[in-house]
Amino acid sequence: MSTFRSRDFSSTPSDTIERKAINPAGRLGSLYDGCRDRIIHETHPNCQEEWLQSSEPVECKVINGNMDLNFNILQSIDIQQELRLSLLLKMTKRSGIAEIICYPHRIDHYTRFFYYSWTGDKQQLLENGMHVLKNMKIWNPALNATHMITSITFGIDTLVVLQLPSEDTAVNKIDRILEKIRDELLRDKNSILKLTPEDNDLLEKTFNTKVYSNISSLTSLAKVSDVFSQINKIKMNSCCRYPLSYTLQLVTKLCPSDSRTSMTLSHPLQMKKADQFKFLSSLLQEKLEQFLLQLRNPIQYVDASLNESIPKLFCGHLSSKLNKANIQWLSLKNKYRNNIQQFSKLIIDARSGLGKSFTIDRALRDNVQRTMKNDINKLIWNVNELEKKGHLITGLHQQQFKYWNTAEYNIGKSNDIKTIERMLISNDRRRRIICSSDNLNENNPSKLVDLRRTLFEKYKSNPELHLIYADFSYTSFQLHDMMVLSLDKNDDSENHSMQRASSAVSVLQTSLILPSSPSPLLTNDETINILLLGETGVGKSTFINAFANYLIFHSFEQAESNEPVVIIPVSFIITIGDNFEERIIKFGEVDCFNNENFNIFGQSVTQHCKSYVFALNNGDSRKVRIIDSPGFGDTRGHDQDDRNMEHTLQYINNLTHLNAICFLLKPNASQLSFSFRTCLSQLFSLLGPTARNNIIFCFTNARSTFYKPGNTASLLKNILASISMSDISLKKENTFCFDSESFRYLVALQNEVPFTDEEKQKYDRSWSTSVNESHRLIDYIDKELTVYRIENEWQSIKHAQFEISYMIRPILEAMRNILRNIILCKKNISNQFIELNSKPLHFTATRCRSCKDSLQQVGQFCILSTCPHEIQNECFMCTCTIDQHVPINYILDHKCSNFSSSDLQNRMINILNKLCHASVELAYFLISTTCSTKDDPFLNALVEMIVEETYICEIQTTNDFNKQLVQELSKLESQYEQQMSKMKSTNENIDLPAIEKLIMNISEYSIIRVQMTAVKKGRQMMIEEYEYEVQKI
């Protein structure tokens, strides 16, 4: 029964606490764990309630963000101090408006928080607390209940976060709009928000807008006007109520004093827990909160900077510097996580009456905390320096300068200034190169400004010039003054700089050997490699089919009179006749590799990378290889996109070079998906920054836009600018527009579809235009683009991750075989040592975890032979699920050999220990740098190996050698886990160069090298397996 009355529930203030309803699941009578600030029992007893009318107070304010270490947004939106601590220490779920603590973007002086709170009705218990307690059917002591919800205030609690553009004029205008909205909402509780077109245009300039609220329907909105329009609708709907805050009472104070004894006897554990509940002193809470904010705020600032703002500013440059900062941040984040766990336990103990407050105060004064703050300060300084460099790079790009980090190239001490000049300029009279460093820029900033302005003015007069900034900040080469390098001796200003450069020869300590640009190493493979990327459904496969026909046939008439080249099966619908009858057109043989999947709409038709090689018909002896990749924007979600992109990166990681990276798009697109941004980011997590110069854009179905990019051009420019990749040019030279309808026409002819003469003329014109674009594309790639050499060993975390993943099986198989031979050595059996050989597989193969292969006897040991399973969409060898199959590149061959040495056993033990420690380091690096999983792949594979050997012992009960091997592998597992625990506890820094050196050192062991050779050969065979060479007509 419900009634509306106007009286307070009887309680004393000390027995009652208020909590903002960050979890909307609370009901009257719900139990609450005050120690952790959690609703722990969402059901409520059958009890009477009453409703209190509200005066509907409104709170509305605009909060300016800042980078102050003590900035406390939770306090600004009226979350109670005890609850703030619980949120900061992750003791309660961060949901509702409290989810603001997880805001993923950087908070600075361009951030604005618009907070709106409106209070509606209040619901509270009508009957006495003793009746409520007796109504509780189950009061489990394990629930840790200290309080009960005795009243709920309903209303609206909303926080809108906006990032303002970095233009002072726009910032001031947007601030005035937000203040106007605030004043209007405070003045009239039922006001309908009215914004002028100019207001809306200004608010459109904000970005990263995010809404946090106790009402889930508001959190999906992205505009301020939409938020408050929806709020007005909610306020007018009296049937919808959303918890705003809870009033909580200690359960021990709910029963009358004369019944207290009986309740204690009937529920001793429950009453004891509630009795022991206590708050920390306000002074200690404030001290702890400030400490946590001074750790958390800079860590979030660094996180957003390293993962969002700085990569955009860097435009793909200085990846090694960014990687190093990321590694420092990961180490610091682990320490912070340990801190959170430590203090959350201390707080829970103190609130539960099990611990003392002084232990918290003592922990705050710990040396570890002071050291951590010092580490944070160092990292912030490093991040700020990186950001300054990022702004320099962005400014250079805006003035048409290319950025060169000289540390990415070879450095030698034997060359003089003439060598530097020759290598940098490389006889290119168009080049104007500013040579400088951070120290020189800081000491004389006006000089750099003058040099940049002078050269930029020359560029505007002569756009053929190539402006370059060569950064000497990260090399041992001591540049003593800024200089401009140029072959144009008639240029006075540049000539003067050259003279100064020549006079500085005597003071140069080291010399720098730089190629003119990222010049390729000459290889025998001169095939033009083009990586094709595009969204699912954009028509990559159709484009490749059409492109092959454009290159192979010399004329439209020749194409009509021959069967079209269909290297990828096609399927499409065409309408014919006056009644527009639909007809399905299919052509081409079914892909024997199951690379094409036409069955599920929205899923990428191309299942994995495959390359198609064409001979040029213009007399050039070289060939073109187009690499078709799975589409991004797959309907199976971002995880599938990530898997597709990971596969693509692994595929191109096996190539020697790329000539072009082609993004295939449709003209007049209404939007470019988030997957497009992700694709760019992931692509350059592997490739170096110079690969950005090799990006080209192709548009399909462009006849409808008169062979222009249409609306997609502006979308593309905006998205590139938003992620600070505006140096990726979008202009006529690197943009190509095609129309695949002429190819569809050729296929339809083979299906005996009739066409009118007018339609044939239309397709003839389409064919001619597309053929011309094809030849222009090949000429541009051949003559204007510099080959990007993947084999130049570009350092990146992604490359290291790939190399480690390839080494997991070789290292573990090496350790297992070493253990076999150690066992034999201990038993003085030297004529049956097991030698390990490997044989690469020429097809994409897996090993099934569930299927047990046959046993073979090798000397004293039984060894399970590996039967490769060929798998595409399903396994050809068994009916086990796909997730039971592990990819393999090679199979092992074991044989006995006679070998003896005086210290063989000690050497094997030494190698085993080194491999074990190396495995720990490689796994630690892999886990720390991979966002998708925290599983240890080395440990998982080692455990699986033990399971395999245990299975052998079960079916070969008389074999003691395999039983000893199981024991030794188990010891190795313990050794591995101990070393990993030690590494995690010390939070060792992950150094990318050290990891690469470790990979190199481990690869030198012959037992590893023989397997890695097979791995590389298998990867090369995999490329050859999925390569189709188009025969010339």
DSSP code for 880? -
Give the burial class of 95: count Cβ atoms within 10 A of its Cβ; 0-12 exposed, 13-18 middle, 19 or more buried: middle
pLDDT for the residue numbered 619: 64
Angle made by CA atoms 299, 301, 306, in degrees to the nearest 5:
95
Q: Is 693 a residue whose pLDDT tops 70?
A: yes
Res. 509 pLDDT band, cuts 50 70 90: very low
The predicted structure's pLDDT at residue 978: 93
Output the pLDDT for position 214. Answer: 92
User: What is the distance between the alpha carbons of residues 829 and 827, in angstroms, rounded to a whole number?
Assistant: 6
Q: Which amino acid is at 687?
A: L
Whether residue 688 has pLDDT greater than 70:
yes
Lowest mean pLDDT among 436-445, 600-609, 821-830, 832-841: 600-609
Lowest mean pLDDT among 250-259, 294-303, 370-379, 769-778: 250-259
- Say if residue 451's pLDDT is above 80: yes
Q: What is the pLDDT of residues 76-112, one digit of tens each?
A: 999 999 999 999 999 998 989 999 998 888 888 889 9
| pLDDT recorded at residue 487 | 83
Q: State the DSSP H helix or E strand holding residue 875, giving kind and residue range, or none if neither.
A: none
Position 920 pLDDT exceeds 60 = yes
What would the pLDDT profile of 333-368 be if each residue is shown by its tens digit?
888 888 888 888 888 888 888 877 778 887 887 766
Highest mean pLDDT among 577-591, 694-708, 964-978 belongs to 964-978
Residue 328 has pLDDT above 90, yes or no: no
The DSSP output letter for 728 is S
Answer with the residue of higher pLDDT: 406 or 559. Answer: 559
* Confidence category of residue 46, pLDDT binned at 50, 70, 90: low
Q: Which position has the higher pLDDT, 18 or 792? A: 18
- Most confidently modeled of 488-497, 685-694, 804-813? 804-813
Q: What pLDDT is attached to residue 722?
A: 73
116: three-class secondary structure by DSSP: strand
Which of 95-104, 305-314, 551-560, 791-800 has the lowest average pLDDT? 791-800
Nearest-5° angle of CA 850, CA 644, CA 102? 100
Closest CA to 921 of 992, 1012, 816: 992
pLDDT classification of 191: cutoffs 50, 70, 90? low
Residue 3's DSSP bridge partners are 50
- pLDDT band for position 497 (50/70/90)? very low
Tokens representing 62?
Answer: 């605009």
pLDDT tens, 461-485? 999 999 999 888 887 777 888 989 8
DSSP β-bridge partners for residue 658: 788
Q: What is the DSSP string of 674-700?
A: HHHHHHHHHHHHHS-GGGGGGEEEEES
Predicted pLDDT of residue 71: 86
pLDDT of 501 = 36
Instruction: State yes or no: pLDDT of 160 exceeds 60.
Output: yes
Packed helices 282-304 and 357-364: angle between N→C axes, nearest 10 degrees: 40
For residue 44, the model assigns a pLDDT of 56
Categorize the per-residue pLDDT at 679 as very low, low, confident or very high, splitting at 50, 70 and 90: confident
pLDDT at residue 795, rounded to an integer: 63
User: What are the C-alpha distances in Å from 262 to residues 15, 176, 269?
Assistant: 20, 62, 13
pLDDT band for 634, please (50, 70, 90 cuts): low
Q: Which residue has the higher pLDDT, 656 or 111?
A: 111
What interhelical angle do 797-826 and 1006-1025 show, nearest 10? 130
**Residue given tokens 């009179």 in the structure block:** 561
φ/ψ (deg, to 5) at 838? -135, 150
Average pLDDT over residues 738-767: 87
Residue 46: both structure tokens together: 């059958």
* Of residues 58, 60, 59, 56, the one with CA closest to residue 178: 60
312-327 mean pLDDT: 75
Residues 192-215 have pLDDT tens digits of 667 888 888 888 888 888 999 999
Tens-digit pLDDT profile for residues 805-864: 999 999 999 999 999 999 999 888 877 889 988 888 876 788 888 887 778 888 899 998
Q: What does the pLDDT average to over 379-401?
A: 88
Element (H, E) at 560: helix 556-561
What's this model's pTM, rounded to 2 decimal places?
A: 0.50
How many residues comprise the chain?
1033
Residue 901 pLDDT > 60:
yes
Give the model confidence (pLDDT) of 861-891 as tens digits: 999 888 888 776 677 677 788 778 888 888 8
Three-state DSSP state, 958 = coil
Per-residue pLDDT reduced to its tens digit, 5-39: 333 333 334 578 899 999 988 888 888 888 889 88
Beta pairing partners, 596: 606
Each residue's pLDDT tens digit, 215-262: 988 988 888 888 888 888 888 777 778 999 999 888 777 766 555 555
Contact by Cβ (8 Å): 815, 972: yes
Q: State the pLDDT confidence band at 592, using cuts at 50, 70 and 90.
A: very low
Pairwise CA distance, residues 763 & 748, whole Å: 12
pLDDT beyond 60 at 1033: no
- Pick among 3.90.1150.10, 3.40.50.300, 1.10.10.10, 3.90.960.10: CATH of 528-789: 3.40.50.300
The angle subtended at Cα 576 by Cα 570 and Cα 577, nearest 5°, is 170
Supply the pLDDT for residue 517: 33
* Highest mean pLDDT pick, 125-134, 182-191, 641-650: 641-650
Mean pLDDT of the chain: 80
* Residue that wins the pLDDT comparison between 861 and 615: 861
CA-wise closest residue to 439 among 402, 405, 478 = 478
Residues 163-176: what's their mean pLDDT? 88
Mean pLDDT computed over 403-414: 67
